[in-house]
Chain A
């Protein structure tokens, strides 16, 4: 990342305290890049963007990616969902490895419909091979689905549902101002 070369030593240390996946302490080292995320790496974030966009696709309203769902997931993975860190790391890796073997592409490079089919196979528990052992396909799919829906439809305070997009889409007035935009009838 460009930003990294411009960092002063002090701000570099400050950033490293925030804790980034794939940190690299030698200043000459550029790969993997310093992640702006809390837990996920930049590469993982690209994949997650594609996944959350599958769960809540863009239509006339913002989809999961632009509503900040990836940010929601990253935030929870260093909070209440710390316990899922390992599953995410393994699951995201399994998706990319499978795509590499099968399609010679990264998941996010596949056409939208292909991505959908991939997730449908995960949902149905049809992934094969050592990477997906012990039902990781179903289990990880369920996490991605539930966490995406939480990020899109839950309170924006947790990093998703940017500008109350889902509430607007469902025509619920938000934020609620107690005693003001309430019911006068």
Chain B
């Protein structure tokens, strides 16, 4: 039995895709929202540290699974090897309804005004494709606001003098600090920095028909047992389904975007939950598979019209893959700083995001989410034992005495850091897999060094008696949970993949709405920006549709 034609297909029910599906179905378009994973439930893995979304030795709690998925990593010398989703090199985010927004740490950052015009702010950088966004922060501001109010954010913007201007406060008050965060808050004040509560996509008070957070020690990497964490799976996706216009089709892996003789998109092929190949047609398609998988789907959609993949006339699809270079420092305190008031991260300073002499950008610095016992086994001053009696004693003595200040350095976009599809290796369904290659820009490490030094100073001021840096930014492939940049927006089709509304330049009815669009990735975790882009792209399509535009 064939599938009924619909107005829109959205591929991927994550941060970007969930929002687009809601915007379109509320506007009256009929929508099929495809998701390769299923509904995630807390009960499957609860607080299991070995199978979470953060520490994954025994697998990813929220997908994808090791048995059907893999990727290829290409070394600088051209040699390659295969990695599984539970291995770090895979650069995973998630695969379930809501994707990373089910298990994320839920930090809810707006990028700063400078982040939308890095090239204007810092000038060209050798070996980088640094560029301005095709619009300004002010253009995106209303979409940030929608994300904050429709998904739900707790915070107090008045405490951050470096935050970009905004029209409305956060809908919920901020979370209080635990013992460790309070120490750091006070220390930052003494240093003349500007500490403030991290805005969080978590309910500090009941909101959206869901209860307040009960502040557990597991949050980042885990689903929420009481539904107080706000993702697309418990906000916009249910709204989309409730309109009656949106069908969520889970366990369905989209394999190709279909193109007709005129170069127009007609729909997609996918493997359904019984692994049968199916076709779904639509007037328009929105790809929201995350930065690595969106590039893969476009590149795998080869036709007479698009021999190198859709949108790839100028070899830009999959380029400029960015994540974040996490960098910071650890400190051991004489007294215990751990008071079991989760989930940990709550204090931030944005003093070093921009205008650091000699450095492109920077990043926010925060205290860290509570580390569970196994994660803590890797946290040691340089030269410490990694096993044996001494290692065990350190676990016992210092678990409650260590604090970390860390942040995401904004990576310098690099054309050679890229997603391709592997010519040989295929996944369970026979679809060519992602091949990752290239590396971070060599200058990233300079920004990282600065941030790590500041983090170490901050910890010392807070009373740490022994500190050491954890320096990010080394060579190596980027991407990971904060993957972005592979289908960048721009006004010039020669140096970008989509226009300023996420539409693939050469194709009237194909859009992208996820982290792939980011021209650069900010000195912040990217989810709220991706959500704002979801509102921007979805809102644009809906408003054009209501004016009669059928994107032909």
Binding site for B on A (CB under 8 A): 54-57, 59, 61, 76, 79-80, 116, 119, 145-146, 148-150, 153-155, 157-158, 166-167, 169-173, 176, 178-179, 182-183, 185
CA distance A179 to B215 in the complex (A): 10
Q: Which of A150, A172, A182, A183 contacts B57 (CB 8 A)?
A: A150
Pair B396/A170 contact, Cβ less than 8 Å: yes
A80-B86, A171-B400 known; A57 and B216 CB under 8 Å? Answer: no
Q: A80-B59, A80-B86, A171-B400 are in contact. Are A56 and B392 (CB under 8 A)?
A: yes
B354, chain A: closest CB distance, angstroms: 37
CB distance from B383 to the nearest CB of A (A): 14
B66 within 8 A of A: yes
Given A172-B373, A185-B341 in contact, is the A59-B400 Cβ separation under 8 Å? Answer: no
Chain B binding site: helix, strand, loop or mixed by DSSP? loop
Size bracket, chain B contacts = 20 to 34
Question: Does B543 reach chain A (CB closer than 8 Å)?
Answer: no
Report chain B residues within 8 Å CB of A61.
Answer: 392, 396
Query: Which residue of the partner chain A has the closest CB to B373?
Result: A153
Complex Cα spacing A157 to B86, Å: 19
Other A-B pairs beyond A59-B392, A80-B57, A150-B50, 19, CB < 8 Å: A54-B387, A56-B391, A56-B392, A57-B388, A59-B389, A61-B396, A149-B377, A149-B387, A153-B372, A153-B373, A153-B377, A157-B48, A158-B58, A171-B400, A176-B47, A178-B216, A182-B214, A183-B340, A183-B342
Cβ distance A100 to chain B, nearest Cβ, rounded Å: 24
Ranked nearest first, the 8 interchain pairs of A and B with the lowest CB-CB distance are A153-B373, A154-B50, A153-B374, A155-B48, A55-B387, A170-B399, A149-B377, A80-B58
Closest chain B residue, CB of each to CB of A144? B387
Cβ distance A85 to chain B, nearest Cβ, rounded Å? 15
Residue B395 at the A interface, CB < 8 A?
yes
| Least distance between B337 CB and chain A CB atoms (Å) | 14
User: Are B47 and A155 closer than 8 Å at their CB atoms?
Assistant: yes
User: Could you tell me if A182 and B215 are in contact, using CB atoms closer than 8 angstroms?
Assistant: yes
Contacts of A183 in B (CB 8 A): 214-215, 340-342
Please, how many angstroms separate the alpha-carbon atoms of A119 and B387 in the complex? 10
With the chains together, A155 CA to B372 CA distance in Å?
10
- By beta carbon, the residue of chain B nearest A174 is B47
